[in-house]
Amino acid sequence: MNSHVSTNNTQPIKKRSPKFGHLLSEYGILLALSALVIVITILSPNFLTTSNMLNLFKQVSINAILAIGMTFVVLTKGIDLSVGSILAFSGIVTASLVTGSDTNLFLGIAAGLGTGLILGLVNGLVVSKWKVAPFIVTLGVMSIARGLTYIYSNGRPISGLSNSFLVIGTGGFLGIPISVWIVLIVFVFCSVLLYRTKLGRHIYAVGGNENAAKTSGLNVDRTLMSVYCISGLLAGLAGVLLTSRVSSGLPQAGMSYELDAIAAVVIGGTSLAGGRGRLWGTLVGALIIGVLNNGLDLLAVSSYWQQVIKGIIIIIAVLVDRKRV
Amino acid sequence: MYDQQLLVEMKGISKVFNGVKALRNVSLKIRKGTVHALMGENGAGKSTAMKILSGIHKPTEGSILVEGNEIFLDNPKMALDNGIAMIHQELSPIFEMTVAENIFLGREPVYPKIHLVNYPKMYKDTKKMFESLGLSIDPKQRMKELSVSEIQMVEIVKAVSYDSKVIIMDEPTSSLADKEVEQLFSIINRLKNEGKGIIYISHKMDEIFQIADDITIFRDGEYISTNLAKTLDHDSLIKQMVGRELTDIFPERSKSVKDQIALSVEGISAKGYFQNVSFQLKEGEILGLTGLMGAGRTEIAKAIFGMIPIESGIIKLKNKEVKIKGPKDAIKHGIAFVTEDRKEEGLVLPMSVKQNITISSLHKFTSGPMMKRDLETQVVDDMIKKLKIKTYSRNQLVETLSGGNQQKIVLAKWLLTDPKVLILDEPTRGIDIGAKTEIYKLMDQLTKEGYSIIMISSEMPEVLGMSDRIIVLSEGKVTGTLRPKEATQEKILSLATANKMGV
């Protein structure tokens, strides 16, 4: 009797080609995204329209940039909780320099990016040289950057930004919003960095096995420093972008954005245990979150329920991902 | 009558993983009061069979009988309840907890009614168990304070404490020194006399013949034979395991030793590890470095590689003094270090064969910041061919490869750094015989090509079979240098224990 049951169990195993299973788990999130798009399109005719799509991409762009930076950090087994606050600080620094006349436009943007880079460097230094857990370091910097933002701005929004600065967040090129172009450029640049350079290889190695990386003669400290700098710089970029889009520097901007960024990374199939992951997955992860937010809005689902649904999706994504490994 | 002697029987067991048959209709009968060695090369199915017997995997077909009654195991706990305990090769105690807490994990004695843990009873019972096996480990010590062999003993005591009928030991001596092995064997004999059955998995032939009563051989997932140990000898055993003639495990060593000195260390010391160590390594030589666990062999290698700072003494490469501050420096000076723990320090498991092979020499494959991927692919493919690495693709993840192939990948990685001196720490640990022979041939080949090799090993046959000279260490000091012709196991052992005897 029992042997019958067990032989039956082997049937599906024999039939299923391992190749197909591999593909399914590797590209499953693309399927998930497509399914999501199809379902929402059926339920709401307003979803798959040009104007809504452009709007959606614009909404996604901030989280996509943060999440790309986060992917680098997570690949090294780290985490960066400070990106939301860095975004705010960079945004407010930029805003303060681009009010009124256009003379400080490039200086303002550079200062915003520089602020992000410096805070990223601080994260990286403390993590690599002093060996403090990334969670703690970036939690601290999250609070520091937020505090500095309020100090710098006296807790008040900075508005009256120059019109040419606002073009970044509101303008378009070839019919596509500039912010979307920026995401694409960042994505391509970071993909090259991750897959075609020595640094990229080192990042995977350090995350996959720090001991082996060290024994193999890699400069582990410098690799760690780099990923936090990348994450900080991209958070700065996101800050500049957001400031331009909402046409003011808001000290409370970017609250809990780090969580959406981490969610995009995890949904995209990058392992929090380090060493495994992919950048395109993060982009798809950010899109899934964006489509969910946008679609559920269109379907008039209450924002309270939206949070519940998002949480469930994140957990399912991790469960599916565990099968992939 | 004979059947009443059977403790456990595995009958016609098959196991399919993702469409691949890992086990095909294998059988195993464990008699009361015997040590039953399970032999086979890596991938023969030993571990899979034992994972089935200990409830980790479920068999696809077949049945398990304990004392004649068929049982069904859904999880390891059910195996324990049926008297089957397994001690895994890679021990995983909870280091922050005490010895007694580890032993009683999940079944802590409690005071009745209030259900709080009865610590005094727990420690008392643990102490009793240790005493009955002649061990002197303090039950209140934290696991992290114990040596590897002590942890091993605790695991055994834990297994016994479940009132097990059968205890499975997977490579229990892989991290033990000879003296500790003796202690383990005396415990095994005690368990045997109490009528328990021991399933013993090991690659070490000497041990098998010393301790086993029955020997069962698996090959490629199939059952080959079961014999009384005394009816087998070394050669017939290997022949059955490998399935082909193996005239000799060790290749005829080439006469490749030159007069020039590749590396010399002069009076180096590092507190707590080794004192005043001096030796020379000639070009094209294999220098065997041996001794008991804790003799400082690995630490000397780490010092040469810049991972442990030396307090005094100098290191010379080709008669020129060098200061080595870290692995990066060492690699620059042409030193390579194949560490004893492949998975911990040698490989990045979630990366591919290609990425692991080039990780230490990426500068060769870049122009500006960009990787030259065609060149990388070509060099990797050459290495795969040269070292006969068995992989279906250079993009296969190394975690899915066998130990022998993983070791070759570590070797390939280091060869690409253009080393002059190769330090190989336990180069064939956990590797099956076929792959061992390949590694030995490769080592010989490398010396012919002019590489100089320091081979750290605790396997005597390997030390005797491969070295041009043998240096024996004891308690951080060099106690002797031997030529393989004049060396014997006894001589090496007496030198290895020299300091301990008060010299």
Domain boundaries, chain B: 6-248, 255-334+456-498
Nearest residue of A to residue B327, measured between CA atoms: A217
Q: What beta strand segments (E) does B202-242 contain?
A: 214-219, 222-228
Residue given tokens 């998002």 in the structure block = A310
From first CA to last CA, the distance across chain B in angstroms is 55
User: B19 and A199: CB-CB below 8 Å?
Assistant: no
Compute the C-alpha angle B129/B130/B133, nearest 5°.
90
Name the region of B48 (left: φ>0; alpha: ψ -120 to 50; beta: rest). Answer: alpha
Judging contacts by C-beta atoms under 8 Å, the chain B residues touching residue A198 are 362-363, 366, 369, 371
Judged by CB atoms closer than 8 Å, whether chains meet at B339 and A216 is answered as: no
- The pLDDT of residue B53 is 93
Check if the beta carbon of residue B87 is closer than 8 Å to that of residue B149.
no
Nearest to A201 among B62, B350, B362 (CB): B362
Cβ-nearest to B345 among A2, A202, A215: A215
Chain B 388-407, residues with CB within 8 Å of chain A CB atoms: none
- Which residues of chain B from 72 to 101 reach within 8 Å of chain A, CB to CB? 72
**Is B373 an interface residue toward A (CB < 8 Å)?**
yes
Catalogue the E-assigned strands of B33-152: 35-39, 61-66, 69-71, 84-87
Largest distance between two CA atoms of chain B: 79
Q: Answer yes or no: do A14 and B19 touch at CB < 8 A.
A: yes
Tokens 């397994």, located at residue: B86
pLDDT value, residue B493: 78
Cα distances (Å, whole numbers) of residue B257 to B283, B385, B448: 6, 26, 8
Query: For residue range A101-157, what is the model confidence (pLDDT) as tens digits?
Result: 666 889 999 999 999 999 999 999 999 999 999 999 999 999 999 999 999 999 899
In the predicted model, is pLDDT for residue A26 greater than 90?
no
Contact B371 A216 (CB under 8 A): no
- Does pLDDT of A5 surpass 50? no
State whether A205 and B61 contact (CB < 8 Å): no
> Which chain B residues are within 8 Å of A213, Cβ to Cβ?
348, 359
Residues of A with CB under 8 A from a CB of B: 2-3, 6-7, 9-10, 13-14, 16, 18, 21, 192, 196-199, 201-202, 204-205, 208-209, 211-219, 275-276, 325
Determine whether the interchain pair B16/A201 forms a contact, defined as Cβ–Cβ distance below 8 Å.
no
A interface test, pick of B331, B351, B413, B425 with most A CB neighbours within 10 Å: B351
The pLDDT value given to residue A322: 65
Question: Which chain A residue shows the shortest CA-CA distance from B72?
Answer: A2
Partner-chain contact A198 B363, CB within 8 Å: yes
Q: Would an 8 Å CB–CB cutoff place B348 in contact with chain A?
A: yes
Which of A13, A18, A209 has the CB atom closest to B348's CB atom? A209
- Which residues on chain B are in Cβ contact (under 8 Å) with A16? 19
Q: Chain A contacts of B359, Cβ < 8 Å? A: 201, 205, 213, 216, 218
| CA separation, residue B471 to residues B261, B382, B478, B482, B488 (Å) | 16, 35, 7, 6, 13
Is some CB atom of chain A closer than 8 A to the CB atom of B385? no
**Mean per-residue pLDDT, A239-251:** 93
Residue B371 is nearest to which of A198, A208, A276, comparing CB atoms? A198
Q: In chain B, which residues have their Cβ closer than 8 Å to the Cβ of A321?
A: none
B66 inside 8 A of chain A by CB:
no
Nearest CA in chain B to A195: B371
| Contact check, Cβ <8 Å, B350/A276 | yes
Contacts of A9 in chain B (CB under 8 A): 60
Facing residue for B355 by CB, picked from A13, A18, A201: A201
CATH code of domain B255-334+456-498: 3.40.50.300
Question: What average pLDDT does range A157-165 have in this prediction?
Answer: 87
Instruction: Give the H/E segment covering residue B428.
Output: none
Nearest to B227 by CA among B219, B43, B236: B236
Q: What is the mean pLDDT of residues A53-65?
A: 93
pLDDT at A201 over 80: yes
User: Cβ separation of B19 and A201 shorter than 8 Å?
Assistant: no
Chain A residues inside the 8 Å CB shell of B349: 208-209, 275
List the single residue in B344, B355, B369 with the smallest CB-CB distance to A211. Answer: B344
Best mutation target among A215, A222, A276, A321 (most B Cβ atoms within 10 Å) is: A215
Whole-angstrom Cα distance, residue B301 to residue B278? 13
- Chain B residue numbers with beta carbons less than 8 Å from the beta carbon of A20 are none
Question: With 60 as the cut, is the pLDDT of residue A7 above it?
Answer: no
Would the CB atoms of B351 and A204 count as touching at under 8 Å? yes
3-state DSSP assignment of residue A67: helix
CA distance A288 to A186: 19
Q: pLDDT by residue (tens digit) across A261-311?
A: 999 999 998 988 889 899 999 999 999 999 999 999 998 889 899 889 888
The structure's pTM equals 0.77
Which residue, among B359, B417, B425, would best test binding to A if mutated, counting the most A CBs under 10 Å from its CB?
B359
Nearest to B359 among A7, A205, A275 (CB): A205
In degrees, to the nearest 5, what angle opens at C-alpha B382 toward C-alphas B376 and B388?
A: 130
For β-strands B6-17 and B286-291, DSSP reports them as unpaired
Sole residue written with tokens 């008669």: B319
Please give the pLDDT value at position B403.
82
Q: Distance, in angstroms, between A132 CA and closest chain B CA? A: 21
Bridge-based pairing state of the strands B61-66 and B69-71: antiparallel
Match 């045997």 to its residue by tokens.
B192
pLDDT of residue A134: 96
Alpha carbon distance B501, B503 (integer Å): 6
Instruction: Write the residue in A18, A196, A219 that is nearest to B18 by C-beta.
Output: A18
Q: Do B355 and A18 touch (CB under 8 A)?
A: no
Contact criterion met (CB < 8 Å) for A212 and B346:
yes
Tell if the CB–CB gap between B61 and A198 is shorter than 8 Å: no
Are β-strands B370-371 and A176-177 bridged in parallel, bridged antiparallel, or unpaired?
A: unpaired
Task: Sort strands B61-66 and B6-17 into parallel, antiparallel or unpaired.
Answer: antiparallel
Size of interface A-B (CB pairs under 8 A): 99
- Residue B242, chain A, CB below 8 Å: the answer is no
On the question of a common fold for B6-248 and B255-334+456-498, the answer reads: yes
B373 contacts on A by Cβ (under 8 Å): 196
Predicted local confidence at residue B248, as pLDDT? 66
Beta strand pairing call for B452-456 and B286-291: parallel
Could you report the per-residue pLDDT of A64-110, keeping only the tens digit for each?
999 999 999 999 999 999 999 999 999 999 999 988 766 688 999 99
Which amino acid, one-letter code, is at B290?
A: T
Q: Assess contact for B76 and B252: CB atoms under 8 A.
A: no
ipTM greater than 0.85: no
Q: A18: exposed, middle or buried (C-beta count within 10 Å: 0-12, 13-18, 19+)?
A: exposed
B355 interface with A at CB cutoff 8 Å:
yes
Distance, in Å, from the CA atom of A130 to the CA atom of B70, rounded to the nearest integer, reads 58
Name the residue facing B360 among A9, A199, A216 (closest C-beta): A216
Q: Which CATH architecture does the domain made up of B6-248 adopt?
A: 3-Layer(aba) Sandwich (3.40)
Q: Do A41 and A33 touch, CB atoms closer than 8 A?
A: no
CA distances from B174 to A92, A283, A303, B218, B392 (A): 60, 46, 58, 20, 29
Chain B environment of A217 (Cβ under 8 Å): 326-328, 330-331, 360, 417
The chain A residue lying nearest B410, using CA atoms, is A216
Phi/psi of residue A71, nearest 5 degrees? -60, -45
Mean of the per-residue pLDDT values of chain A? 88
- The parts of chain B modelled with pLDDT lower than 70 are 1-4, 18-20, 42-43, 244-248, 499-503
